[in-house]
Every structure is written in C-alpha cells, then in structure tokens.
Amino acid sequence: MMHLRKNQANQTYLLTLQEKLTGQTQYENGRWLVSLRSEQTPEIVATSWIMNVTTIYTDRYNEGSINTTLNQPTSGNNQLPEVGFFVYHVHYQDSTTNLDPDDVSVKFLAEIGRCEIKPEP
C-alpha cells in the first residue's frame, strides 16, 4: 500500500514495477505514469503524475519521490486530491509528459494497488 500526506515535501514510496515484468527489458525513468482513482468513483481519474524514480536498484524495486506541496505533475510532484483511500495504477508509456492513462502513448499497465492519502501533519 502506498501512503502519502497532503502538503508535505520529500516523501518517498516503493513499488515493484520491474519485478512484475519478467523477461522484459529495463524501462526508462520518466515514463512511468501514476494515476489515482477514488475507491468510490473508480471510473474518474482524480490525479496523475510522472513517477520520479530515485533508486538505482530498479530490478528489485522502484522508489519514487514526491512533493505534495507543488503542482508539477510532469516532474513527479503533485498536490493531491482529498484525504482518503484511492486505487493507484502505474502505466508505462512512450511519453515523458502525458498525464492521461487513456492516451495512445500508454503501452501497458504495470501495477495496481491501494493508496492512502493522509491529512497534512
């Protein structure tokens, strides 16, 4: 489960994207699209950002960093929606700027999981 806080800088989260892609090649940083959908309305994308991968061990796990005080989704930073539970989807794409998970540049879905957005400290 991913845990994030509203209005807080320097947060990290761990995903296992490459691990699920057995037999695949290494994928480029800056092309992982993270989108959050509310558990109450899963058909609506609440927010999206390009994952800023900060680990060098991507064959084992992918550590992402996010600053939720800034609204720069193509740089891995995002002001999150309301507090609550969301479902996250991580897609790999050809684009480094697309924020739409339904765009033609999206190649495949790599991971789905749960995310809790907590209030600011």
Question: Rounded to 5 degrees, what are φ and ψ at 18?
Answer: -65, -35
Cα–Cα dist 48/121, whole Å: 23
Report the pLDDT averaged over residues 69-98: 92
- What integer pLDDT is reported at residue 54 of this predicted model? 85
Confidence of residue 60 (pLDDT cuts 50, 70, 90): confident
| Partners of residue 119 on adjacent β-strands | none
**pLDDT for res 16:** 86
Helix (H, G, I), strand (E, B) or coil at 18: helix
pLDDT level of residue 116 (50, 70, 90 thresholds): very high
In the chain, the domains with their CATH numbers are 2-118 (2.60.40)
Cα distance between residue 15 and residue 113, in whole Å: 9
User: What is the DSSP code (8-state) at residue 101?
Assistant: T
* Mean per-residue pLDDT, 46-55: 89
Per residue in 12-22, pLDDT tens? Answer: 999 988 766 65
Q: With bands split at pLDDT 50, 70 and 90, how would you rate the model's confidence at 109?
A: very high
pLDDT of residue 36: 94
